[in-house]
Amino acid sequence: MNLHLLSLLGGRLLVALLTLLIVSFVVFCATQILPGDVAEILLGQAATPEAVAGLRTAMHLNDPAILRFFRWLGGMLTGDLGISYANNRPIAELIAGRLGNSLQLAAATALFSVPIALALGITSAMLRGSLYDRSVTMATITVISVPEFMIATSGVLIFAVWLKWLPALSFARDVHSFGEMLRIYAMPVFTLSFVISAQMIRMSRAAVVETLNTPYVEMAQLKGASRTRVVLRHALPNALGPIVNAVALSLSYLLGGVIIVETIFNYPGIAKLMVDAVATRDLPLIQSCAMIFCAVYLLLITTADIIAILSNPKLR
Amino acid sequence: MATDATTTSPSPRRAGYRFNLTGLVSLVIVLAWAAIAILAPYITPHGVSDIVDTDYFGPMSQSFPLGTDYLGRDMLSRILFGARYTVGISLAATLIACTIGVTLGMAAAVTGGWFDTALSRFIDALSSIPSKLFALVAVAGVGSSIPVLMLILGIIYTPGSYRFARALAVNVNTTDFVTVARIRGERLSYLIGAEILPNIIGPVLADVGLRFVFIVLLLSGLSFLGLGVQPPEADWGSLVRENIGGLPFGAPAVMAPSFAIASLTIAVNLLIDNLPQKIRDRSE
């Protein structure tokens, strides 16, 4: 039985790696579709045909696309991400500074939102059908159906413009005190938390509701156990797997949210770097950022899957 | 599961097709936005690109109900006209995504074998690219003219539609009447068109509604980043972007387009959740 579990996990990891390979191919193709010539774009309109031809050879642009794909992939694997078109700096250097900032933002959001979201999700499942449950459900549907920038702008409007508690859309680079840092992080973290909490509340609520419908919970109720005891002792331990799975899946929504949030708050993270790169059509930088995002996303999704497999007692 | 949200409008008066209040209100909102998108040029109080106010980021007033934008243009007119881009592009993209996704999904379920495996594996890989990121990469690669945007958004949401339709079609595929049709020697196009599709159409249409919401949100997000609909044309996302400078003054021009998006997406969501019992039953 254990061997079966191992092969299941191994298979899942293999699928993740294969997926990453296909994703890298798609990302590479998407940025190569346009017939526009990179060498011409780089050299501008005044370039002589000889200069363009020279640059094309130097950049290996005359090689077949499949060869360039494998060269790019090989570079990625060995840590050579190439050179940015926009400012001729190595991409690894550009990204290194920004990745930390983004991870900080993500970590702060996760720390803040996971406990709150789980508490809301579990309690609303316990009080299913009550006014409290219905208002939580309504609120999560609303948050899920509005764009992230609306949450961000509403937050700024309320906390910075009307209440004047927080700075608005600027991001100060030099932070002098803990209090100052808290004020700067507050708006981005608040916005992101809203976005991922909504998903997390929905999924954890569904997981607990499902467990509450099982025969052993009914048995516990018939035995005369109190509601709190039924939930805490009988339902929750069994719902733990699906809940952790829900958390991992919800965190993957961070990636979409972070793109909007970093842009609107001018936060120097990797998503902002990528949006700027798209605006200037800096293809190598876009490719690298996209691959980092996809890898993180796959990591979260695969983790969620593995937790789901491990927490299923039928497979143990 | 539910059905028939955005494409047809079932009459609320017929017996068994009674809407509850939430469903009715959301249906009215959705239809109103659709009408506005079609009639926009005839109902805007001011010209879309006319500078009508000497002040910029003007407050709400009698002549400008939603204030004025960063150049002093009437915000209400711009939002009414923006409905064309937001609703139009999203609808076209939804149609692309669902036509390709559902057709391929049914074909994969009916054909099976290596075709199904290879296609499903590829689609799984595609859907493991976060949608916003996919859009960014695609816009960087092929630009963001309106037809290209429709196509990009359509392709991004094809995998979801494919998986949904395939999962449903796999169940129908095991039924006796499909087996009989197969033995009769019917072709693939007949099998998926006449045997599978009619049996999954309800849930598929509900899925169309949800996908429309996702696409509206993604399009708005892209436009907000400045990578979607390009000036001088403006959808609701672009309207928020161009007026974001008014946020510190609390100008209505910043929030009004967001509320337009929210009203549309929430209405579609609620409509799907509150469809009349009869339509829901049919689809199960």
**A244-258 confidence digits (pLDDT tens):** 888 888 888 888 888
Q: In the predicted model, is pLDDT for residue B137 greater than 60?
A: yes
| Model confidence band, residue B104 (pLDDT cutoffs 50, 70, 90) | very high
CB atoms within 10 A of CB A243: 23
Measured in angstroms, the CA of A234 and the nearest CA of chain B are apart by 30
pLDDT of residue B19: 73
**B210-226 confidence digits (pLDDT tens):** 899 999 999 999 999 88
Measured in angstroms, the CA of B127 and the nearest CA of chain A are apart by 9
By the CB < 8 Å criterion, does A147 face chain B? yes
**A174-221 confidence digits (pLDDT tens):** 555 566 666 677 888 888 998 889 989 988 898 888 888 888 888 888
**B10-49 confidence digits (pLDDT tens):** 444 444 567 788 888 999 999 999 999 898 888 888 777 7
pLDDT of residue B214: 92
Count of positions (residues) in chain B: 284
Query: How far apart are alpha carbons A257 and A277 in whole angstroms?
Result: 18
Query: How far apart are alpha carbons B284 and B282 in whole angstroms?
Result: 6
Give me the mean pLDDT over the A31-53 stretch.
Answer: 67
The H-or-E segment that residue B258 falls in is helix B252-273
Looking at chain B, the whole-number percentage of residues with pLDDT higher than 90 is 32
CB atoms within 10 A of CB A309: 17
Which of these, B60, B94, B48, B54, lies nearest to B72 by C-alpha position?
B54
| Contacts with A, B 192-231, CB within 8 Å | 213, 217, 220-221, 224-227
Measured in angstroms, the CA of B186 and the nearest CA of chain A are apart by 35
| Model confidence band, residue B156 (pLDDT cutoffs 50, 70, 90) | very high
The H-or-E segment that residue A183 falls in is helix A178-212
Q: Exposure of A225 by Cβ count < 10 A (0-12 exposed, 13-18 middle, 19+ buried)?
A: middle
Give me the mean pLDDT over the A155-173 stretch.
Answer: 70
pLDDT of residue A170: 53
3-class secondary structure, A82: coil
Cβ separation of B143 and A260 shorter than 8 Å? no
pLDDT of residue B2: 42
Which of these, A264, A289, A52, lies nearest to A149 by C-alpha position?
A264
**B247-284 confidence digits (pLDDT tens):** 877 788 888 999 999 999 999 988 888 876 655 554 44
Mean pLDDT of chain A: 81
Which of these, B276, B173, B160, lies nearest to B207 by C-alpha position?
B160
Query: How far apart are alpha carbons B233 and B239 in whole angstroms?
Result: 10
**B180-202 confidence digits (pLDDT tens):** 998 988 888 898 888 889 888 88
3-class secondary structure, B73: strand
Give me the mean pLDDT over the A159-172 stretch.
Answer: 67
Q: In the predicted model, is pLDDT for residue A103 greater than 70?
A: yes
Q: In the predicted model, is pLDDT for residue B100 greater than 90?
A: yes
Cβ separation of A147 and B121 shorter than 8 Å? no
> Which range among A124-138, B49-63, B145-159, B213-227 shows the weakest confidence by mean pLDDT?
B49-63
> Which range among A2-16, A156-170, A267-281, B247-261 shows the weakest confidence by mean pLDDT?
A156-170
Which of these, A290, A304, A110, lies nearest to B135 by C-alpha position?
A290
List the structure tokens of A105: 């933002």
Query: How far apart are alpha carbons B282 and A159 in whole angstroms?
Result: 48
Instruction: Please give the ipTM for the structure prediction.
Output: 0.82
By the CB < 8 Å criterion, does B133 face chain A? yes
| Model confidence band, residue A34 (pLDDT cutoffs 50, 70, 90) | low
Q: Which residues have CB under 8 Å from A72's CB, separation 6+?
A: A28, A82, A287
Measured in angstroms, the CA of A244 and the nearest CA of chain B are apart by 20
Q: In the predicted model, is pLDDT for residue B151 greater than 90?
A: yes
3-class secondary structure, B129: coil
Cβ separation of B138 and A34 shorter than 8 Å? no
Compare CB distances from A33 to B125, B128, B141 and report the shortest one's residue: B141
Cβ separation of B130 and A297 shorter than 8 Å? yes
Question: Is the separation of the CB atoms in A254 and A196 below 8 Å?
Answer: yes
CB atoms within 10 A of CB A19: 22
| Model confidence band, residue B90 (pLDDT cutoffs 50, 70, 90) | very high
By the CB < 8 Å criterion, does B142 face chain A? yes
By the CB < 8 Å criterion, does A51 face chain B? no
Torsion angles phi and psi, residue B232, rounded to 5: -80, -10
Question: Is the separation of the CB atoms in A69 and A25 below 8 Å?
Answer: yes
Q: Which residues have CB under 8 Å from B15's CB, separation 6+?
A: none
Query: How far apart are alpha carbons A113 and A156 in whole angstroms?
Result: 19
pLDDT of residue A174: 52
3-class secondary structure, A90: strand
> What is the DSSP secondary structure assignment for residue A83, as one 8-state letter?
B
Give me the mean pLDDT over the B78-97 stretch.
Answer: 92
By the CB < 8 Å criterion, does A86 face chain B? no
Query: How far apart are alpha carbons A235 and A218 in whole angstroms?
Result: 10
Give me the mean pLDDT over the B70-90 stretch.
Answer: 88
Lookup result for tokens 């002549």:
B63
Query: How far apart are alpha carbons B134 and B90 in whole angstroms?
Result: 17
Size of interface A-B (CB pairs under 8 A): 151
Comparing A53 with B165, the larger pLDDT belongs to B165
By the CB < 8 Å criterion, does B144 face chain A? no
> What is the DSSP secondary structure assignment for residue B210, as one 8-state letter?
H
pLDDT of residue A45: 65
Q: In the predicted model, is pLDDT for residue B62 greater than 80?
A: no
Per-range mean pLDDT, top range of B68-77, B136-145, B236-245: B236-245
**A262-292 confidence digits (pLDDT tens):** 888 888 888 888 888 888 878 888 888 888 8
Q: In the predicted model, is pLDDT for residue B4 greater than 80?
A: no
By the CB < 8 Å criterion, does A298 face chain B? yes
Lookup result for tokens 């509206």:
B216
| Model confidence band, residue A168 (pLDDT cutoffs 50, 70, 90) | low
CB atoms within 10 A of CB A44: 7
3-class secondary structure, B69: coil
By the CB < 8 Å criterion, does A30 face chain B? yes
Q: Exposure of A210 by Cβ count < 10 A (0-12 exposed, 13-18 middle, 19+ buried)?
A: middle
Query: How far apart are alpha carbons B54 and A166 in whole angstroms?
Result: 32
Lookup result for tokens 């579709």:
A33
Lookup result for tokens 């208002």:
A135
Q: In the predicted model, is pLDDT for residue B166 greater than 50?
A: yes
Write down the H helix ranges in B72-196.
75-111, 113-127, 131-142, 146-156, 158-173, 176-183, 188-190
Complete DSSP assignment for B40-51: HHHH-SS-TT-B
At A111, which amino acid appears? Answer: L
